Amino acid sequence: MIRKAIKSDIEKIKSHIEEFNLDSEDMDHEKFYVFEYGGIVAGFGRYKNYGNYCEIATIGVLKPFRNRGIGKTIVNQLIKSVPFEEIWLTTVIPDFFKKFGFKKSQNVPEELLQKTRRICEKFEKSEEFSVFMKLKKQT
């Protein structure tokens, strides 16, 4: 079952966010969705509003629950929920997001570039593996 996150969900997923090297900036529970499976938060994701576009971010599925369509359900919910037509994401698994219509882009908004640099630096990862992708929602 997918649902809007509540405050207590954030504490449950924080360790997974760190484990998966995901964006932990601005952890507003109101922007998160969680996928609950048998009373357990099995997956999560959120969107971040940048003024005239959104980013879907911090998408993770706990290892025992992978390959069950949970990630796909979360991404579809996020795409449906974002309040803007233009959606961005940063990923190391671009083939997964191509299925939703995301396309690689070189014309990346500066705010997103800066955020990616901060997150990569935090986890001592190279940003060269980050792929920026964009989707225009069909209206």
Q: Which pLDDT band, with edges at 50, 70 and 90, does 124 fall under?
A: low
pLDDT band at 51; cut points 50, 70, 90: confident
Residue 47 scores a pLDDT above 80: yes
Q: Most confidently modeled of 17-31, 33-47, 106-120?
A: 33-47
List CB contacts of 112: < 8 A, sequence separation 6 or more. Answer: 50, 55, 88, 90, 132
Average pLDDT over the chain, rounded to an integer = 90
**Which tokens belong to 111?**
């705010």
Q: Which amino acid makes up residue 70?
A: I
Thinking of the domain 2-136, which architecture would CATH place it in?
Answer: 3-Layer(aba) Sandwich (3.40)
State phi, psi for 64 to the nearest 5 degrees: -65, -15
pLDDT exceeds cutoff 80 at 127 = no
- Closest residue by Cα to residue 27 from 12, 40, 14: 14
User: Quick one: what percent of the chain has pLDDT higher than 90?
Assistant: 60
Residue 77 falls in which region: left (phi positive, over 0), alpha (psi -120 to 50) or beta: alpha
Query: From CA 107, how far away is CA 75, in angstroms rounded?
Result: 22
Q: What is the pLDDT of residue 21?
A: 85
Evaluate if residue 40 carries a pLDDT over 80. Answer: yes
